[in-house]
Structure 1
Amino acid sequence: MSKLEDLIAELCPNGVPFKPLAELGKFFGGITGKSKDDFTNGNAAFITYKNVYSNPALNINPDDTVKITEEEKQRTLEYGDVIFTGSSETPDECGISSVVTKKPEKPLYLNSFCFFFRFNDLNIIEPDFAKHLFRSTKLRYQIGKTASGVTRFNVSKKLMEKVVIPVPPLPVQREIVRILDNFTELTARKKQYEYYRDSLLTFGDEVPRVTLEKLFNIRNGYTPSKANNEYWENGTVPWFRMEDIRDNGRILSDAIQNVSDKAIKGRAFAANSFIVATSATIGEHALITRDFLANQRFTVLTVKNEYAKSLNIKYFYYYCFILDEWCKDNLTVGHFASVDMGRFKKFEVPLPPLEEQARIVAILDKFDVLTTDISFGLPAEIEARQKQYEYYRDRLLTFKELS
């Protein structure tokens, strides 16, 4: 840390200025006036919600496209722009940032569920510094306070203008970037594992495909009335929410919260069904191994009898990772993000012979330990490294304010 300490002692010994975003630039929205058809066979690069949420440094070479005509006057993203997700199920997940850290070689159009901030002067903040700064604990706390809502939280751009950031000298910013970037190498290894998994699940035209609506009975989850105490007392039926996946993983038999038999509409969802998040926190899934209920954020997939002997349940569990990514890229155009259910039902699942499905499952079961077991392998290493990164990030991004 000596070089950084020397730079601070030389360039900002008495502290650094703190400025509200309103003094440093302006906020802009994503593209508007688009229909579902505009996202099929588009002619321009499109930045999805998932791209923003998943990448502190934006992927500026996406596969996603949108149709843009010559007459349209839509804003495009530029080097140094800081993008934010506009809404989420919880305030903690609102305003997640992604920064354009490289100069785009082609026009980039931002989805309507996000917005972006453009600095008036790029000589104030290094884009690579911004990618760490806006995900730091102190900034995330400020940004979280700009969101309001009940079941869904939305970020206020007016309140975002009041978010205050430190503005250290550029040499100090660059040295902090050099230190923090060294902590992110393990994430690349995890992406290699995910690439290998997806390669195993990619097939040629010789393998038949079956749509979700042919393969599964598709039902919606629901929340029993909170006003009826009988539904919530002495419960024995697990009722799954996103918290269950976050806390306990993707193969589940018990839920954090149970409901009574009286809460069931018709019949419970059958054991060995899948829950897929198709609204709010989109693109999460789990395999449930006993009869259950789930809340309205989930679509529930239960294998039809005619496919019970041709689909390995664990094979589809792994294929859901591909479905998850598809869901994040196929949202409806509206006030909040949700999956286009018409296209969801038409999503095609490759069905190789059962022997091939079993072979893939055997490989991925071993592989899964390395990629998902929190106490073993790469995840444990990443978790330890991530904690180190967060500690040093927050420490390095804590400045004395210039009086």
Structure 2
Amino acid sequence: MFYELATSSWGDEEIAAMQRVIASGFFTMSENVKALEIEFAQYFGAKYGVMVNSGSSANLVATAALFYKKDRPLQRGDEVIVPAISWATTYHPLQQYGLKLRFIDVDLHTLNMDVSKLEQALTPRTRAIVAVSILGNPAAMDVIRAFADQHGLYVLEDNCESMDAELGGRKLGTFGHLNTFSFFFSHHISTMEGGMILTDDEELAHLCRAIRAHGWTRDLPADTKIYERKGSDFYEAYRFILPGYNVRPLELSGAIGREQIKKLPAMTVQRRKNWALFQELFGKDERFIIQRENGKSSAFSFTMILNPARQVDRDRVFGALRDADIGYRIITGGNFLRHDVMKYYDYEIVGDVKNADIAHDHGFFVGNHPHDLTPQLERLRSVLHNVV
């Protein structure tokens, strides 16, 4: 395809890293995973990193950890404020742990949570906010964290789409009590499958480590405070303290990630160069609504909303993109409230979600990659200029 939605960011370094692991004959998580946890946390300025097998699993484990805190754990029936647009696995762990979701609309121009609605969404049962930065563009994490601190709420920052973005000179994925990242093929770095949880809270880090691997104690340091040793080494070697999962990453993924994290700064620079060209081509064109940058975007992709006032036939636009060999897709998961799965959720909608509906019905995105996209973006401009 002339303009793909996603392309590989691997080079010889990642293949060589895989070969070293294959030669070692040891494939479950080991030294490379441990090293990547340290290197990734250091890159973002966090104290603790816990690698898992996907960003989705990172959200699951992070949600679970908040239920097993010693003080003020979440409980079933508690409420959590969420944005109307995100990917499915932002929400599913919340439903699976019995939380009630309070959906608020997004800002049409940033596509992130409309923080002016936070006060309206707050009730005496609200215990947490799940904040999402959509497709590289920072949400108002400073505002969200300040609001959460004021009201004693936990913040889970789902940063799976916005690795290496910044707000006020601070990396995203560091504003929450727990912060999650994805290393899926199309994301800012790729380890085949993989994800990471970052936190500055030792208790939460240790809870995540246990939950990641069967609720087992094996991966915990000897001085952990989340349980007390009380048996023989024979018993302690197979002691389970929490209801957990098996969402451990592969050693192959750890080794690949160590090479990818070295490349991340340069890849972000190139993504932002492409983003600058996209802004130049479409930023002043009133036929389209594109994301307004908040802070410093890491430009996962390029979102476009056909101006509803012009009543453009989106299917006709999609036909022109297909004919031009340009890939496109829905913006993240669209308005999540429009999906069939909502019949299984306990939720309320705070006010209306008209902006999420506009993005759902009139929007799409095209890809961004860590290499020059000038020919692709120029073709996109030509095609859309002719069809809209």
Question: By the TM > 0.5 criterion, same fold?
Answer: no
Rg bigger for which structure? Answer: 1
Q: Which TM-score applies when normalising by structure 1?
A: 0.30
Q: Which TM-score applies when normalising by structure 2?
A: 0.31
